[in-house]
């Protein structure tokens, strides 16, 4: 039988354990014990008055008085002290039971020298032992220890008195009382278990209700944010398209208006992609693939990709790398390179977006030789500590600095979630009127890439010489991707299915192969597996749960989520071209 003697309720459980409830039931019986004492006291005094030494009765009364005083004092002390309550209360109850054992022993000793009143006093002592057994019934350990110890003294005294009939009757009566107390204990234990299970269910229900309310608020914020961002963005695009189609009285849209419409479209795509990633993270389906990679090359890549945007806003985007990282041989960050690139991209894009004039500075350095820190500092409006905390909340926008700036308010919260999945952290600090600084901290291993050659970032012009094979089943999607790739300066060849892609890859040498994850005959996984050894693979996915993981497991070097954008395609191509080299270095 499992006896929870001194066990405490489990941390975070919704209910109390059986021992705690048993001790509370014993405490609840104390007023009844006092009533029994009030009824039994006159009887004890009357029987004791017939003893040859009635003055000895005073010792028994004093024992009872001391016992009540000590026990009630201890119980009140326990109720005021909440630390380790069950253990302390259990010890107090055992100690109090031993006090009543002492009181029964005192009555028994009084009876042995009481003369004619001996038999009656021994009967009273045995009755007191039965009462003690009854009041210890809620807690099994107390029942099996205190009760028999209390009955031992009067039963031994009856045996020594030579009255075998009285001894047999007393033993049988106490055995019956103990059996009834055990039955009562089992019934109460069952009730305690049901009560504990009920409280646990209530706690779990409350937790589920709280989680449901949080998800409902999150969905409401999601709908409100997307409705605002999509409505504004599409309204601008529709206005420009209406002018281009000749459906308005004004002249055809200018180049600046078309550029503004394109920027609005790209902002919408960014909001949707960030929202999808955030919802995936909230559902617990966001996964990271940890490996060692060169942080210097990755940071240089991200800075190069975002430098044109900074220059278009008249900002200086500079990069400073600690000398020990530039001269390091074999050191690397242990994290997911794709997600690390995503976090740094969010931090730099935010800095550029919220900075009106001045500069954005990216600093990379080592801390304690085991942590790599990437700081993105700007000369923007700056944030207070309260605003920094608010900025990391999902869908939270800082009204003082975010007016007129597009976004869903999810970039920082998603970045922090991703960093923590990789064993790192994203934090921030700022000063109003001076600027803000957001910091990404990741695990660094000085021996992760020993023997590998450092891959430096290349200028974007070098990427224009890539020969790319696009394998897309949908003609419109293929045309959009081809237009973006050619806009980036790449040479593009198109294949409509995996079979044609395999034939072209045997005839021509390609620098990169882009494969649509929706290919059905043959499936995209087979196409990726067959072509992964001929050129780096870029998988084009739609964002379904597990789709990215499946493509990467089949051999893709990177993934690109639809709908495609110029910035997204540029990042996907850069990731696909650098990831195989970094993985090869990690294996070496």
Residue 248 lies in a domain: yes
3-state DSSP assignment of residue 191: helix
At 499, which CATH number? Answer: 3.40.50.2300
Residue 13 lies in a domain: no
Is the bond leading into 128 cis (omega within 30 degrees of zero)?
Answer: no
Residues 470 and 349 in one domain: no
Residue 337 lies in a domain: yes
**Interstrand relation of 537-541 and 558-561 (parallel, antiparallel or unpaired):** parallel
Q: What is the pLDDT of residue 459?
A: 40
At 302, which CATH number? Answer: 3.30.565.10
Q: What is the pLDDT of residue 363?
A: 93
Q: Which of 425, 430, 391 is nearest to 411 (CA)?
A: 391
Block mean pLDDT (10 aa), the chain, length 588: 37 54 75 74 79 76 74 67 65 77 82 82 84 84 86 87 84 88 86 82 86 71 59 65 59 61 64 60 62 86 82 87 81 83 86 87 88 91 85 70 56 81 88 89 81 46 69 79 82 85 86 86 83 87 74 85 76 76 34
The last residue of a domain, from among 457, 492, 523: 457
Residue 213 lies in a domain: no
Residues 246 and 274 in one domain: yes
Residues 320 and 380 in one domain: yes
Residues 162 and 254 in one domain: no
Residue 247 lies in a domain: yes
Please check whether residue 513 is in contact with residue 537, taking contact to mean a CB–CB distance below 8 angstroms: yes
DSSP string, 296-334: HHHHHHHHHHHHHHHHHTT-EEEEEE-HHHHS-SS-EEE
The token pair at 435 is 């600027």
Residues 246 and 304 in one domain: no
Total number of domains constituting the chain: 4
Please check whether residue 559 is in contact with residue 548, taking contact to mean a CB–CB distance below 8 angstroms: yes
The token pair at 569 is 């395609």
Residues 515 and 435 in one domain: no
- pTM (two decimals): 0.45
C-alpha distances out from residue 55 to 26, 109, 124, 157, 504, Å: 33, 13, 18, 21, 116
Exposed/middle/buried for 430, CB within 10 Å: 0-12, 13-18, 19+? Answer: buried
The last residue of a domain, from among 158, 184, 207: 207
The last residue of a domain, from among 149, 179, 207: 207
Residue appearing with tokens 């795509």 = 269
Residues 189 and 304 in one domain: no
Q: b/e string for 47-68 if b means 16 or more Cβ within 10 A?
A: bbeebeeeebbeebeebbeebb
For the CA atoms of 264, 269, 275, 279, the dihedral, rounded to the nearest 10 degrees, stands at: 160
Q: What is the pLDDT of residue 374?
A: 92
The token pair at 247 is 């459906």
Q: b/e string for 230-262 if b means 16 or more Cβ within 10 A?
A: eeebeebbebbeebeeeeeeeeebeeebeebbe
Distance between CA 76 and CA 91 in Å, rounded?
Answer: 14
Residue 65 lies in a domain: yes
Residues 467 and 446 in one domain: no
Please check whether residue 49 is in contact with residue 61, taking contact to mean a CB–CB distance below 8 angstroms: no
C-alpha distances out from residue 274 to 279, 317, 349, 453, 567, Å: 9, 23, 13, 34, 14
Residues 168 and 24 in one domain: yes
The token pair at 511 is 């620098």
Residues 88 and 232 in one domain: no
Residues 173 and 244 in one domain: no
C-beta atoms surrounding 226 within 10 Å? 16
Distance between CA 232 and CA 480 in Å, rounded?
Answer: 24
C-alpha distances out from residue 414 to 44, 280, 409, 425, 498, Å: 77, 10, 10, 11, 35
Q: What is the pLDDT of residue 461?
A: 37
Residues 25 and 162 in one domain: yes
Q: Determine the straight-line distance between the first and last CA of the chain, rounded to whole angstroms.
A: 58
Residue 115 lies in a domain: yes
Q: Which of 216, 222, 211, 209 is nearest to 414 (CA)?
A: 222
Cβ contacts of residue 365 below 8 Å, gap of 6+? 321, 322, 325, 372, 373, 375
The parent domain of residue 248 ranges over: 219-282
Distance between CA 407 and CA 275 in Å, rounded?
Answer: 10
The token pair at 343 is 């976090």
Cβ contacts of residue 242 below 8 Å, gap of 6+? 248
Residue 214 lies in a domain: no
Please check whether residue 114 is in contact with residue 60, taking contact to mean a CB–CB distance below 8 angstroms: no
Please check whether residue 536 is in contact with residue 577, taking contact to mean a CB–CB distance below 8 angstroms: yes
């Amino acid at each position: 039988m499992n006896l929870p003697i001194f066990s405490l309720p489990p941390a975070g459980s919704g209910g109390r354990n059986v021992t705690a409830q048993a001790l509370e039931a014993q405490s609840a019986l104390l007023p009844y014990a006092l009533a029994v004492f009030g009824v039994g006291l006159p009887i004890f005094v009357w029987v004791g008055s017939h003893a040859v030494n009635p003055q000895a009765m005073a010792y028994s009364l004093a024992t009872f008085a001391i016992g009540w005083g000590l026990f009630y004092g201890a119980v009140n002390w326990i109720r005021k002290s909440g630390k380790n309550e069950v253990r302390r209360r259990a010890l107090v109850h055992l100690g109090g039971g031993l006090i009543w054992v002492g009181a029964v022993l005192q009555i028994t000793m009084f009876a042995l020298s009481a003369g004619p009143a001996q038999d009656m006093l021994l009967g009273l002592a045995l009755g007191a032992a039965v009462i003690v057994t009854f009041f210890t019934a809620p807690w099994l350990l107390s029942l099996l220890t205190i009760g028999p110890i209390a009955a031992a003294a009067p039963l031994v005294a009856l045996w020594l008195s030579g009255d075998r009939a009285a001894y047999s009757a007393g033993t049988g009566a106490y055995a019956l009382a103990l059996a009834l107390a055990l039955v009562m204990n089992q019934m109460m234990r069952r009730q305690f278990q049901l009560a504990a299970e009920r409280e646990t269910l209530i706690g779990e229900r409350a937790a589920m209700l709280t989680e449901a309310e949080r998800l409902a608020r999150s969905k409401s914020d999601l709908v409100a944010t997307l409705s605002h961002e999509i409505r504004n963005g599409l309204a601008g695009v529709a206005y420009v398209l209406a002018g281009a189609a000749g459906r308005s009285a004004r002249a055809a849209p200018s180049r600046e208006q078309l550029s503004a419409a394109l920027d609005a479209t790209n902002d919408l795509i960014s909001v949707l992609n960030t929202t999808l990633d955030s919802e995936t993270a909230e559902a617990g389906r966001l996964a990271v693939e940890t490996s060692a990679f060169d942080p210097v090359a990755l940071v240089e890549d991200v800075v190069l990709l975002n430098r044109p945007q900074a220059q278009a806003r008249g900002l200086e985007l500079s990069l400073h790398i600690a000398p020990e990282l530039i001269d390091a041989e074999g050191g690397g960050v242990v994290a997911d390179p794709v997600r690390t690139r995503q976090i740094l991209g969010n931090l730099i894009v935010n800095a550029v977006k919220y900075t009106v004039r001045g500069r954005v500075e990216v600093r990379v350095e080592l801390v304690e030789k085991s942590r790599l820190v990437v700081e993105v500092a700007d000369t923007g409006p700056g944030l207070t500590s309260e605003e920094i905390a608010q900025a990391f909340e999902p869908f939270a926008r800082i009204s003082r600095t975010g007016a007129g700036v597009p976004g869903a308010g999810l970039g920082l919260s998603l970045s922090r979630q991703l960093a923590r999945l990789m064993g790192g952290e994203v934090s921030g600090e700022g000063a109003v009127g001076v600027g803000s600084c957001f910091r990404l901290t990741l695990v660094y291993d000085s021996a992760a890439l020993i023997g590998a050659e450092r891959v430096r970032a290349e200028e974007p012009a070098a990427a224009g010489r890539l020969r790319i094979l696009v394998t897309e089943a949908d003609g419109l999607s293929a045309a959009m991707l081809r237009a973006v790739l050619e806009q980036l300066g790449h040479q593009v060849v198109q294949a409509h299915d995996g079979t044609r892609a395999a034939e072209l890859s045997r005839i021509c040498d390609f620098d990169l192969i882009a494969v649509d994850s929706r290919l059905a005959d043959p499936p995209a996984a087979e196409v990726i597996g067959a072509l992964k050894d001929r050129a780096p693979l870029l998988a084009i996915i739609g964002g379904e749960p597990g789709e990215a993981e499946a493509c990467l497991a089949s051999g893709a070097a990177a993934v690109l989520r639809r709908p495609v954008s110029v910035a997204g395609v540029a990042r996907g191509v850069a990731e696909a071209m650098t990831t195989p080299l970094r993985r090869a270095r990690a294996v070496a």
